[in-house]
Amino acid sequence: KAGVTQTPRYLIKTRGQQVTLSCSPISGHRSVSWYQQTPGQGLQFLFEYFSETQRNKGNFPGRFSGRQFSNSRSEMNVSTLELGDSALYLCASSLSPAGGGNEQFFGPGTRLTVL
């Protein structure tokens, strides 16, 4: 079974631009979550989608948005990029929508560099 895939793997943008990252979950998984990883802030939760609906959202500004499609693939968008948005963006998928001890499977991440 194929794992979680994220595209692109690397991205370089300049301040003020916008970017879209893509995540394809494991087949059959309907929950997709996004995380931002930086050396200073560590791993921070961005949002979670299930059945095309945002179920949970972290403390990020409105420049960060996402969506999920009917095939469970998800995209996240960052508008008006800032230098501080440089990070590794990780996507995770899970079989179940319920909380608690569900295993989440992470993709390799997209490394975004903002110049």
Partner 1 sequence: GDSVTQMEGPVTLSEEAFLTINCTYTATGYPSLFWYVQYPGEGLQLLLKATKADDKGSNKGFEATYRKETTSFHLEKGSVQVSDSAVYFCALSLLTGGGNKLTFGTGTQLKVEL
Q: Which residues of this chain interact with partner 1, rule CB under 8 A?
A: 4, 31, 33, 35, 42-45, 48, 50, 55-56, 58, 90, 92, 94, 96-97, 99-109
Report the alpha-carbon distance of residue 39 to residue 49 in Å, rounded: 26
CB of 44 or CB of 79, closer to partner 1: 44
Report the alpha-carbon distance of residue 3 to residue 19 in Å, rounded: 23
User: Shortest approach of partner 1 to residue 15 CB, angstroms?
Assistant: 26
User: Shortest approach of partner 1 to residue 100 CB, angstroms?
Assistant: 4
